[in-house]
Structure 1
Amino acid sequence: MRINTLSIVIPCFNEQDNIKILFEELKKVLNDFDFVVEMIFVDDGSKDGTFGEIEKIADVDNRVMGISFSRNFGHQIALLAGMEKAKGDAVVTMDGDLQHPPEVIPEMIQQYNQGYDIVNTKRIDGVSTSLFKRKTSKWFYALINKLSDVRVEPNSADFRLMSRETVDAFLKIKEQDRFTRGLISWIGFKQTFVAYTSQPRYSGKTSYTLKKMLVLAVNGITSMSSKPLRISLYLGLLFFVTGIVYSIFILYNFFKGVNVEGWTSILITILILGGVQLFIMSIIGEYVSRIFNETKARPLYLVKKETGQKS
């Protein structure tokens, strides 16, 4: 499978100080190849001068295209928007903070040339990665692989190379609440992994706060599995059977004339049941909210401005 055109899709959020450095690093890696390269920077509603930096680069290099969203729609949607614009025979997606090293791209192309449709990457945590992030990442992948119908490789990243065929297949998926790593596993095709060492951000602070990580985790679990709903059913059955057994115990002692003092046990039971009911309702609520989002049929993103080459 020969590459005639390679597209690089780069979602950006408040990456003003990283754009130029990333562009220079990409040029060092890609200038040695004999195929056409296009770079698509997607500004996901940045509050700084990110899009201004993209415009400057696009003015001096006709391989660069920039898209600016009307607001922040999220990293997963920015990935999708860039892939919709990409024209390449193969498409690489990567972050704009230099934590995804451009020098890995040639190795990904090698794997593609060996017949793989999708070349994923697996992150090896560097010394800058906190213990908290390592542990929460490990727990997240363990949980999602227990619940999901498809396997998501631990420490996988949205840094990958995809063939034109797999990009077109991916773009047929129009879900609002997206978990790209899970969807890539779901679409199948011949896939492999290459490892890379995670680098510290060149500049700025990560936009992936704990809150955003939790939202991504919930999206990942609810988009890839209905098992939490089944767990709710099993919990409900467990407490229903427990309630029946406890009722029989109370009635048995009542007819024997044994006075059972149960204020404490009743209070504990009510609190536990109330907590379980709220937990189950929240799970159901997550799935209902996803249905609600899908039925609204709003566009996944809105573009405010574009620069560079046009489709």
Structure 2
Amino acid sequence: MRIEKMENLDLSIVVPVYNEEENLRPLLAEITAALKDEPLSYEVIFVDDGSSDTSFAVIEALHQADSRVVGIQFRRNHGQTAAFAAGFEQARGRYILTIDADRQNDPADIPAMIKKLEEGYDVVNGWREDRQDAFLMRKLPSFIANRLIARLSNVPLRDRGCSLRVFRAEVTEELKLYGELHRFIPEMVSFAGFSMAEVPVHHRARVAGQSKYGISRTFRVIVDLMTILFLRKYSDRPMHLFGMLGTAFGGLGVLMGLYLTWLKIWAGIQARQFWTGFRDYSIGERPLLLLAVLLVILGVQFLVMGLIAELMVRTYYESQDKTVYFIRQVLTAEKQT
């Protein structure tokens, strides 16, 4: 169900919620206090991601008490990415800010982030300079992941896991979130050509509720990273990747086959009778021959996959009238009268 959008606002705050009944009222109070002296019209969009506690009942009560509160309830748990996507779709603000519901992010940082955005950036990311989390389970894996992703993606952020982030509305319109891609929003923003900044923000220890994160998500991050890197480099030209792999594997298989063929010919040359020596030298039982055949087959498969992917990409862009570029602005000559 889609909420009908009314007048535009200055700021929409999107808050994914999953079993955070104890944190919602204090969080809203902190947001209200942080924006009390700011000349901004705003809304707070709580997206209940299938909570099993009374989180949505609290959201309903907050909505009744404050018309700036918007509530969205999922029928079941879909994950944080889906919660962000739903909040972005319903947002009415020209700026859209995301923040966690666990109160580890400090709403007092919101005015400074908006001020930084108004310097001309499209996105401002929070950097938890003094992170209040367990070192082994949270800080160390996050440090390693940030360094690895920064090196592979060429997006030099120090903190990708901070949900405190503010966008211009046109940025969220370009983001197509699914799976668990909220972890790679900076990479998607960079791929679309938007400008980003990073500012230090406060981080607090959790005082209520239970953390929803664990070390197991590290493995999912690796898989999602491969997806992002593929989409960044080859989403509109998949044959460049599959063709390269197909040529490499197929070419290696052909070279191995030629090597074995040369060995058989050389055995014939060294024999008194060429055909006798050629026939007697067996390569059929050598593992190298099997490997050569498998590599050629694999190379052909990659080439076919590349052709199919090219057809799918062409269908995707042409059927939906999508472009392969992102425009910031266009300067045109005024019509002469």
SS at match of 2:93: coil
Question: 2:12 matched to 1:7?
Answer: yes
Amino acid at match of 1:253: L
- Displacement of 1:40 in angstroms is 0.9
Match of 1:221 among 221, 229, 247: 229
Report the identity percentage: 26
Q: How big is the shift at 1:242? A: 1.8
Q: Distance in 2 between matches of 1:50 and 1:291?
A: 44
Check the 8 A contact 1:170/1:187 in 2, yes or no: no
TM-score (norm 2): 0.66
271 and 25 in structure 1: CA distance in 2 versus 1, 3 angstrom threshold: farther
The answer to whether the Cα contact below 8 Å between 1:222 and 1:287 also exists between their aligned partners in 2 is no
Q: Deviations over 1:186-230 (max 9, x none)?
A: 444554221235544443122575265356435433443317763
1:257 aligns with 2:267: yes
Counterpart position of 1:248: 258
Change in CA separation of 1:191 and 1:139 when aligned onto 2, cut-off 3 Å? closer
Corresponding residue for 2:329?
A: none
Q: Write the letter of the residue equivalent to 1:134.
A: F
Aligned residues: 286
* Residue identity in the other structure for 2:18: F
Deviation readout 1:49-81 (Å, 9 max, x if unpaired): 221221222233332111112233332332232
SS at match of 1:256: helix
Alignment counterpart, residue 60 of structure 1, candidates 44, 65, 71: 65
SS of the residue 1:6 aligns to: strand
Q: Partners in 2 of 1:277 and 1:13 — Cα distance?
A: 47
Provide the residue aligned with 1:148 in structure 2.
none
Return the alpha-carbon distance in structure 2 between the equivalents of residues 186 and 232 of structure 1.
21
Q: Where does residue 198 of structure 2 map in the other structure? A: 193
Unaligned 5+ runs, structure 1: 146-150, 298-311
2:240 paired residue number: 230
Cα displacement string for residues 164-198 of structure 1 (whole angstroms, at most 9, x for unaligned residues): xx314532566766653334334445542212355
Distance 1:223 1:175, change over 3 A: farther
1:206 to 197, 212, 217: 212
What's the TM-score once normalised by structure 1's chain length?
A: 0.71
Tell which deviates more after alignment, 192-201 or 97-106: 192-201
Kindly name which structure, 1 or 2, has the bigger radius of gyration based on alpha carbons.
2
Q: Which has the higher contact order (CA 8 A, sep 6+)?
A: 1
Within 2, Cα distance between the matches of 1:292 and 1:45? 35
Matched with 1:94 is 99
The answer (yes or no) to whether the contact 2:93–2:169 under 8 Å persists in 1 is no
Check whether the contact 1:229–1:283 (CA below 8 A) recurs between aligned residues: yes
Q: Are 1:135 and 2:144 matched, yes or no?
A: yes
What is the match of residue 123 of structure 2?
118
1:281/1:200 CA distance change after superposition, 3 Å: farther
Structure 1 stretch displaced more, 28-37 or 225-234: 225-234
Match of 2:159 among 155, 158, 169: 155
CA deviation map 1:69-117 (0-9, x unaligned): 2233332332232223223342212222234322221211221343444
